[in-house]
Amino acid sequence: MFSQYNDGEMTNALGRDIYVPGVTPTGNGDSTNNFQMHAKSSRFGLKAVTTLDDGEKITSVIELDFLGSAQGNENVSNSYSPRLRHAFFTYKNLTVGQTWSTFMNVSALPETVDFVGVMDGTVFARQPQVRYTTGNLEVALENPASTVGGTDTNDNSMPDVVARYSIKSGNSTFTVAGIVREIKADNPAIAAVMDNSATPQFEGKAATAAIDDSEIGYGINLAGVIKLGADDLKFSVSHGQLGRYIGFAPAADALAVAGTDNIEATDVTSAFVAYRHFWNPKLRSTIAYSMLEADYGIANSGRTENVSSARVNLMYSPTKEVTYGVEYSNAQRELDDAAGTDGSMDRVQFSAQYKF
């Protein structure tokens, strides 16, 4: 991939490998260029389906890849440690272990050369959970977490509760999902970071109080795949206090309020739409747009307020096992500050994929 960062240098290692909306450089820095090659998104997995003595079947899955590894470098061997993606089993109506969040519709993700592509517009989370499925309804208790300002907390006292209902109409499919979650921080190390004269109720309050507060957050997601002959239209729309659930968390779940021990939850709205056209059975293209907007409830927070990206690609599969792709994307990011600080990225990337 070749990337041009138009407002500074990309300092985030993962942001060089895949599109991460919250790290696009902003400000008035010089334009910088970067050429990158990697195989970290390669993955392998094992799936077992076992028939038990009573005739019931149990399915188990474990899957690994190499993205996000802190081990290894590009100087000699490009050796990177594997990371756990999935580790779960399903028995009768119950799924237990780590896999995609029930709040996420994986089948609605478009075909992109980038690892996800529409990251700023989609729910994206893998986490431990207990999920019960009956018919088209899925209900799950999932591992909680909160991001308060720039700090990830482990303070939650209840699981995230998720429900999803699937609908099929002809060849098209849709899901409606809802979530109830606790956003919590009880940590003396998290200082109240907002001393913001632009927000009258906080004017003159010093950022000295340690945080000890929680809020209940809610969210909804509608996603689907609409078949248009051989082509398809994929989409997702989300709204609520969804912070970490959207796009690698460019928006924090909450911010600390100056002069208090309270947090202010963030409202997030995100969406993507992607249209895929088949030129012939071996050649196809996807054009996609995605966005996220965050409302922190506190002016001039300095956090990511808006991100968006657009991309178009060409994918060629000479056989069903092999796919070559080329994609151009443009990404925009704006901060919540008085100056409206922003930045953008242009990227062209190629990929070769072999499924076996």
Read off the pLDDT of residues 234-255 as tens digits, 9 standing for 90 and up.
999 999 999 999 999 999 999 8
Q: Is the Cβ–Cβ distance between 251 and 304 less than 8 Å?
A: yes
Identify the band that residue 300 occupies on the pLDDT scale cut at 50, 70 and 90. Answer: confident
pLDDT value, residue 207: 46
Q: Is the Cβ–Cβ distance between 247 and 119 less than 8 Å?
A: yes
18, two tokens: 């895949």
Cα separation, 216 vs 214, in Å, equals 7
Q: Please name the helix (run of DSSP H) or strand (run of DSSP E) that holds residue 15, with its range, or none.
A: helix 13-17
* Averaged pLDDT, 24-34: 89
Domains, the chain: 2-354 (2.40.160.10)
Cα separation, 37 vs 289, in Å, equals 25
Say whether 107 sits in a helix, a strand or coil: helix
59, two tokens: 């399915």
| Longest Cα–Cα distance in the chain | 70
Q: What is the DSSP letter of 123?
A: B
* 197 has a pLDDT exceeding 50: no
* 204 has a pLDDT exceeding 80: no
Cα separation, 185 vs 129, in Å, equals 22
- Picking from 321, 307, 315, the residue whose alpha carbon sits closest to that of residue 349 is 315
Identify the band that residue 190 occupies on the pLDDT scale cut at 50, 70 and 90. Answer: low
71, two tokens: 């081990």
Q: Is the Cβ–Cβ distance between 65 and 85 less than 8 Å?
A: yes
* Averaged pLDDT, 145-174: 91
Cα separation, 242 vs 221, in Å, equals 10
Provide DSSP, 135-161.
TTEEEEEE---EEETTEEE---SS-EE
Cα separation, 268 vs 78, in Å, equals 37
* 296 has a pLDDT exceeding 60: yes
Tokens 């890849």, residue located: 65
* Averaged pLDDT, 266-292: 98
